[in-house]
Amino acid sequence: MIDTQDITGLVLAGGRGSRMGGADKGLQNYRGSPLALHTLLRLQWQVGHTMINANRNLAAYESFGVPVWPDSLPDYAGPLAGFLTGLEHCETPWLLTVPCDTPRFPDDLAARLVQAAVRENADMAMAAAPEADAEGRVQVRPQPVFCLLRVELMESLVRFTQGGGRKIDTWTAQHRCALEAFDRPGDDPQAFFNANTLAELQTLEQRA
């Protein structure tokens, strides 16, 4: 098994917040505290170490008490830029990424991704969760920003991003990736609901 102390958790808060009118999503109020802080606190007890990826308002994020690192790639290059930044600064064998806008993610996320990675001898493990399509049909779909990565994958990701690659699915498809479905009895079907807009954030808060 992979020891908890061998995992560094990374909160991804480096986006533009375009669908929130350019607001810094991680600093939006959720139940009286910044959204990213809720995410960080939920992550901290699942892993040995934590840090944040952010590209603005760094002092505000630093006040949470963990290291904060901006993207090493320019121009808000997306989640993979956060992955790369995390891998560059990770001092443990594994990195676990979570987005700042999904504060109800499972409290056994790390444990189950570890089990999946070990079970399949994989280089990475990714969560999958029920999602409804446009017709209301529910399917279990990958949630690629909830990803457990071997730190050795950094060289591969550097090559991919230097070649202009930006899509998570394209990069992860190059490696052995274990999927862990969070659709067991007792799993919260709304655990992976994320707030891309202020209205969705309000909905998330009402559900809480």
22 is in an annotated binding site: no
13 is in an annotated binding site: yes
CA distances from 184 to 23, 42, 91, 106 (A): 35, 20, 33, 12
Cα gap 10→193, rounded to integer Å? 18
183 is in an annotated binding site: no
Phi-psi region of 44 (alpha: psi -120 to 50; beta: other; left: phi over 0): alpha
101 is in an annotated binding site: yes
187 is in an annotated binding site: no
201 is in an annotated binding site: no
The CA radius of gyration of the chain, in Å to the nearest whole number, is 16
71 is in an annotated binding site: yes
- What are the DSSP E strand ranges found in 6-108? 7-13, 29-30, 33-34, 49-54, 68-69, 94-99
Instruction: List, as residue ranges, the binding site.
Output: 12-14, 25, 53, 71, 101
Instruction: List, as residue ranges, the binding site for Mg(2+).
Output: 101
Instruction: List, as residue ranges, the binding site for GTP.
Output: 12-14, 25, 53, 71, 101
